[in-house]
Amino acid sequence: MATGKITKRSVEAVPVPPPGKREHLWDDTLKGFGVMVTDKGARSYLVQYRIGGRGAPSRRVTIGKHGSPWTAERARARAAELLEQVRRRDDPFDAAQAKVAAEREAKARATASAVVTERLAFSVFASRFVEKYAKVNQARSWRETEGVINRDLVPRFGTTPLTEIEDADIVEVIDALAERGPSAALKGYKALRQIFAYAVDKERRHLPAAKNPMAGIKPPAKMGKRERTLTDTELRLVWMAAGGLGWPFGPLVRLLILTGQRRDEVGGMSWAEVDVDKRQWLLPGARSKNGLPNLVPLSDQTLTIIGDLPVIKAVRGEGDKRPDPRLVFTTTGETPVSGFSKVKARLDDSMLDLMRKEAAEAGADEQAIKRLAVEPWTLHDLRRTLATGCQRLGFPTEVTEAVINHVSGSRAGIVGVYQTYRYEKEKRAALDAWSRHVTKAVVGKTAPNNVVALRA
């Protein structure tokens, strides 16, 4: 057993032993203090001792590897402290083992916490909520929920874990959305309530019901009944602005104007639903908001727009026998177009540009042009504008309701099913008249019944 003064030089002079062996140098002044060299060349300071006399087993505690921070001098000082503990019958081996166990447990907890934190990150969990819950249970509205989450909630909460989101954070976000409008605040509130309810159900170990930040938050004020309809001037601006959007949103917006159907109903239209020869579009109940099918007669102008649309075929791999959905408004062939909030913003910008250009051409002064603004409106207002317009054109309420597939007391229940084909002639007359009205609003004159104006 080699002994000598443990110094930097003597430690580095200890030869590397053969494979599978260990080499030791024990200090000749501080008994029990030594250095061990492995067959890989690693040099570590250690203390060897016995508690309980010669018959007791010897134990070793590693101080650390030779080098920074463990120089020979620091290792000697630490060895002296440990040997003093031995003298007091305080076994440093047990303390070292307890420290290692505590560090291992802390590391395990940190790893587990990191996994939970990543899984409960708002952006990650919200995406999981859409895939696992919304798409399964909200067949007709999950896209709207997904849009609210991605547009209004993820940018605000990011990767913050659900467990760290407090009620004050929720209130702040809802208040911010309320500045944009009561509809945005209410939709944000509903999406958050659903997300946290799903989290409480699926992650109750980490987010029990008692810690749901949505529990004590009241919903924001509900919107009053919307009455917004567009004037003919505004309708003209929307039509012209839509022309600048190009494929696929320009034709889509114009079909919203001409048919009065809902945004997602038009956006999800398939070629199988359209019968050009019969000049009609049969919206299936599976895709309508109220679950009732609707036969929509197609005016000349509508048919012209549809006739100019490209047919996008789904890309199928070899052996993939799934049916081709052949959606009308799609860029992938598989899914309907999305991103309507951005489209709406582009429409507003184009409408404002048109307003300013026309005002300038009319000789308005610069300050008046700067004061011009687009009054708030939604794509859904186009539907109400058609309904109101048809009534002003002299068509009765029941015909207007049949056109837009609106369920009132007279069409509720099973009666609505049998009314799919009722009022077909009246609906065609109403939509043809509305198409002529739109043409007049845009170009300033009424198109004859046999003339197709404003080709897309």
Query: Rounded CA gap, 1 and 23, in Å?
Result: 9
d(CA 107, CA 101): 10
| Rounded-to-integer distance, Cα 202 and Cα 212, Å | 13
Pick from 276, 230, 273: which is nearest to 253 by CA?
Answer: 230
Last-in-domain residue among 211, 244, 276: 211
Same domain, 96 and 125: no
Instruction: Please tell me whether the overall predicted TM-score, pTM, comes out greater than 0.85 for this model.
Output: no
Instruction: Tell me whether residue 172 is in a domain.
Output: yes
- Counting Cα atoms < 13 Å in the Cβ hemisphere of 445 gives 6
Q: Is residue 113 part of a domain?
A: no
**58 and 199 share one domain:** no
Residue in 243, 257, 252 with CA at minimum distance from that of residue 438: 257
Residues 438 and 445: their CA atoms lie apart, in Å, by: 10
From residue 360, alpha-carbon distances to 110, 354, 423 in Å are 65, 10, 46
Query: Quick one: pLDDT at residue 419?
Result: 54
221 lies in some domain = no
Clarify whether residues 58 and 159 are in a common domain: no
The answer to the question of residue 411 being in a domain is: yes
The single-letter code of the amino acid at 133 is: Y
Are residue 291 and residue 200 in the same domain, yes or no? no
Amino acid 178: pLDDT: 85
Per-residue burial over 309-332, b if 16 or more Cβ lie within 10 Å, else e, is beebebeeeeeeeeeebebbbbee
Residue 143, CA distances (Å) to 147, 149, 224, 354 in order: 6, 10, 24, 31
- What CATH number is attached to the domain comprising 10? 3.30.160.390
Token couple for 257: 């104007």
- Considering the domain boundaries, does residue 129 fall inside one? yes
Closest CA to 30 of 72, 62, 64: 72
Q: Quick one: pLDDT at residue 25?
A: 96
Q: Where are the alpha helices (DSSP H) in 179-296?
A: 182-202, 232-243, 249-259, 263-267
Does residue 350 lie within any of the structural domains?
A: yes
What's the structural domain count of the chain?
A: 3
Q: Which amino acid is at 237?
A: L
Residues 83 and 173 in one domain: no
CA dist 309 and 328 (Å) reads 8
pLDDT tens, residue by residue, 396-443:
999 999 999 986 544 444 444 455 667 899 999 999 999 999 999 999
Residue 386 falls inside a structural domain: yes
**pLDDT attached to residue 113:** 60
Predicted confidence at residue 225, as pLDDT, reads 56
| Residues 266, 256: Cα–Cα separation, whole Å | 7
The residue among 195, 186, 83, 70 whose CA lies nearest residue 129 is 195
For residues 252 and 395, the answer to whether their CB atoms sit within 8 Å is no
Residue 179's domain is classified under what CATH number? 1.10.150.130
| Same domain as 144, residue 250 | no
CATH code of the domain in which 424 resides: 1.10.443.10
Q: Does residue 135 sit in the same domain as residue 203? A: yes
Q: Give the DSSP H/E element, type plus range, for residue 26.
A: strand 22-27
Same domain as 278, residue 141: no
Q: Tell me: do 207 and 343 sit in the same domain.
A: no
pLDDT at 108: 65
**Low pLDDT (below 70) residues in the chain:** 108-116, 222-226, 316-317, 407-421, 445-456
Instruction: Tell me what pLDDT residue 234 has.
Output: 96
Write out the residue range of the structural domain in which residue 396 sits: 232-443
Other Cβ atoms within 10 Å of 122 Cβ, number: 22
If asked whether residues 297 and 378 sit together in one domain, one would say yes
Domain boundary among 103, 136, 164: 103
pLDDT of residue 410: 45
Domain contains 68: yes
Q: For residue 411, what pLDDT is reported?
A: 44
Q: Do 318 and 426 belong to one domain?
A: yes
**Same structural domain, 347 and 260:** yes
